[in-house]
Amino acid sequence: MAGPIFEVENLRAHYLTRFGQKIQAVDGVSFSLKPGEILGIAGESGSGKTTLVSACMGLYIPPLHLSSGDVRIEGRSIIGMDIETNRRDILGKKISMIPQGALNSLNPTRKVKDLSTDMILSHDESAEKKQIYSRLRERFEKLGMPADEVLNAYPVQLPAGMKQRVVIGISTLLDPRVVIADEPTSALDVSTQKAVIRLLFELMDQGIIGSMLFITHELPLLRHVSNNIAVMYAGEFVELGNIQQIIFDPRQPYTKALMGSMLSAGQKPVAIEGAPPNLANPIEGCRFAERCPIARPDCRTTRQAIRIVENRQVRCQYAE
């Protein structure tokens, strides 16, 4: 097997507010994706999932700034590239994103085909307009959508599930190696959700996309979608392992609490007491210490490092 196609090494990113406050939203995240792998990232709202997405794509638009770390796609670093080059050569071609509010990310005043044509032209100026349409048709048909009907429609004429599929279709037009799906199903009902996941799998099986980063707070969904799961809390990965380990045998206290708050048959969901820490204030010790049931005094003073416990990464000194 080839090496990883996507590597993130000790990535740290922060927001700088108008008042000079520094908010470390992503702090020391490392992972890598092999071809064909799907990594799920789970976490509460405000845990830095979406910031991690921008950081992984090399899109540092103020107030977001890179603190340190490296992101490599197929061995090539995309950090330090100027934003125009990044937009033209990397985004869409190498790495692409399926946005969170996909239902609102299509321009309502333009037909789907015009929008998709723009997408191709902005990356490949030599493309012929006529060929583009047939290329679009071919792709949309391959993905099981009524191509002519969809391409000639305005976004408002499409139902929610179809819109989401169109967004996925457009963002994978240029066969990106890595796709980041940022809560692609959170605004959809359960049946549409299933159709969207099926479409993503099809894209992978047909080799249109290489590997995927799937971000959501729905753990039951992740169990069916990804190979590995990383749990994020306050800007850090607190546990990373395969599905079996994370869902059925969590070790880190936060992962345990997160699993407990899930609704499943015959089990009462238990909410996690308290709120995530404010990242504007620097935290010395473990970030979960305030809410942790097994916290000891030294948890609040020493920063937790990643340990390997039974083939998985755990950020807790007392987890076993």
Partner 1 sequence: MPSEPKFEAQHLSRSYGHGNRRFFAVKNLNFTIPNKDVVSVVGQSGCGKTVLAKLLLRLETPTSGCLLFDGKPIAQERDPRNHWRSVQAVFQDPFSAFNQFFTIRAQLKSSFKLFRQKPSREEMDARVDAALLAVNIEPREIEGKYPFELSGGQMQRMLLARIFILRPEVLIADEPTSMVDACSRASILEYLLKLKKELDMTIVFVTHDIGLACYISNSIFIMHQGEIVEQGPPELVTGSPTSEVTKQLLADIPDVHREWLRREASK
Residues that bind partner 1 (CB under 8 A): 36, 44-46, 159-160, 188-194, 197-198, 201, 204-205, 217-221, 223-224, 247, 257-258, 261-265, 269-272, 275
CA distance 34 to 84: 27
CA distance 222 to 242: 11
Catalogue the E-assigned strands of 158-306: 178-182, 211-216, 228-233, 236-242
Toward partner 1, which CB reaches closer, 50 or 67? Answer: 50
Toward partner 1, which CB reaches closer, 136 or 219? Answer: 219
In the complex, least distance from residue 115 CB atom to partner 1, rounded to whole angstroms? 23
Toward partner 1, which CB reaches closer, 71 or 272? Answer: 272
Toward partner 1, which CB reaches closer, 27 or 37? Answer: 37
In the complex, least distance from residue 73 CB atom to partner 1, rounded to whole angstroms? 22
In the complex, least distance from residue 49 CB atom to partner 1, rounded to whole angstroms? 10
Toward partner 1, which CB reaches closer, 156 or 308? Answer: 156
In the complex, least distance from residue 30 CB atom to partner 1, rounded to whole angstroms? 24
CA distance 172 to 140: 11
In the complex, least distance from residue 43 CB atom to partner 1, rounded to whole angstroms? 8
In the complex, least distance from residue 149 CB atom to partner 1, rounded to whole angstroms? 19
CA distance 265 to 8: 37
In the complex, least distance from residue 238 CB atom to partner 1, rounded to whole angstroms? 14
Toward partner 1, which CB reaches closer, 86 or 100? Answer: 100
Give the Å distances, CA to CA, from 275 to 28, 138, 271, 278.
Answer: 22, 49, 11, 9
Toward partner 1, which CB reaches closer, 224 or 296? Answer: 224
Q: 238: Cβ–Cβ under 8 A, 6 or more apart, which residues?
A: 231, 232, 252, 254, 255, 288, 314, 315, 316
Diameter of the chain measured on Cα atoms? 68
Q: Give the tokens for residue 185.
A: 């199903």
Residues forming beta bridges with residue 32, ordered by sequence position: 7
Q: Are 182 and 99 in contact (CB under 8 A)?
A: yes
Give phi and psi for 178, each to the nearest 5.
-125, 130
